[in-house]
A and B are shown apart, each in its own frame.
Chain A
Amino acid sequence: SSGVTDKDEL
C-alpha cells in the first residue's frame, strides 16, 4: 500500500 489509496480510517 502506498498510503495514497487505502482510506481505511474515518
Chain B
Amino acid sequence: MNIFRLAGDMSHLFSILLLLLKIHTIKSCAGVSLKTQELYALVFATRYLDIFTGYISLYNTLMKMFFLWSSFTIVWYMRYHNVVRRSYDKDQDTFRHYFLILPCFILALLVHEKFTFLEVLWTFSLYLEAVAILPQLVLLQRTRNVDNLTGHYVFFLGAYRSFYILNWIYRYFTEQNYYKWITWISGLVQTALYADFFYYYVKSWRNSERLQLPA
C-alpha cells in the first residue's frame, strides 16, 4: 500500500459517503443517475466475488464489503424509498445503460488474462467501471444548476481514478514485474472521461459559482 493508493481508496470512500449523506440525510437523489449507480452495483458484484475465494487483508475485505453494501443500498434508496425515489430525475436520466453491459461482456470474453469464470467477470467489471460514469455525466450536463453535493461526489470519484494512475506509476517503478495492461488501459479511459467535468468543476470553484456544464 502506497500513499497514492490510499489516497485513491479514501477519495472513493469519501465520494460514496457524500452520496449516502445526500440521500439518507437530505432524502434527495436529485441529479444522481440511477443508471450509473446500477452499473456500479454490477461492477462490484462481478469484481468482488473473490471475497469468497481468497483473502488479501482485513482492509481489503472490509472495503469490498463496504462498496458492495453501499452500491446496493443506494440503488435500493433510489428505486424503493418512499421519499427519495420521488426526487429522482427519471425523465432526464435516459442513458441506455444496458447497451454498455453487453459490449463490455463481449470484450471481456475476447480480451482477458485467463479464461476462467472469475477472471472473465473480473475483467468485465474493469471494462464496465471505465464507462459506468457516462450516464451520470450526461445527467449532470442536462441538469441546470448542479447542486454542490452531486458535483463534489463526481469530483471525488474522478480524484479516486487519478490517484490510482499515480499508484500504478509508483508500483511500476518500485515493484518487480508489476504490469497490468487491462487494468491500466481501462483506468486511463475511465479517468479521461472525467477531464471535461474537472475543467468546469475547477472553473466554477475558482469563480465561487455553482457548477454548470455547457449544454
Contacts and interface: CB of A to CB of B under 8 A. Distances in A.
B201 interface: no
B interface SS class: helix
A3 B67 CA distance: 23
B101 to A, nearest CB: 21
B179 A3 contact: yes
A5 to B, nearest CB: 8
B5 interface: yes
User: Chain A contact residues (Cβ within 8 angstroms of B): what range?
Assistant: under 10
A9 B5 contact: yes
B180 interface: yes
User: Chain B contact residues (Cβ within 8 angstroms of A): what range?
Assistant: 20 to 34
A4 B114 contact: yes
Contacts, number: 27
B56 interface: yes
Interface core residue of A1, A3, A4, A9 (most chain B CB under 10 Å): A9
Given A7-B50, A9-B5, A10-B60, A1 B178 contact: yes
A10 B64 contact: yes
A4 B180 CA distance: 8
A9 to B, nearest CB: 7
Given A1-B177, A1-B178, A2-B177, A7 B113 contact: no
Contact of A3 (B63, B122, B177): B177
A10 B56 CA distance: 11
Interface of A: 1-4, 7-10
Interface of B: 5, 9, 12, 50, 54, 56-57, 60, 63-64, 67, 113-114, 122, 164, 167, 177-180, 183
8 contacts: A2-B177, A3-B113, A3-B179, A7-B50, A8-B57, A10-B12, A10-B64, A10-B67
Given A4-B114, A7-B50, A8-B60, 7 more contacts: A3-B180, A4-B113, A7-B122, A9-B164, A9-B167, A9-B183, A10-B63
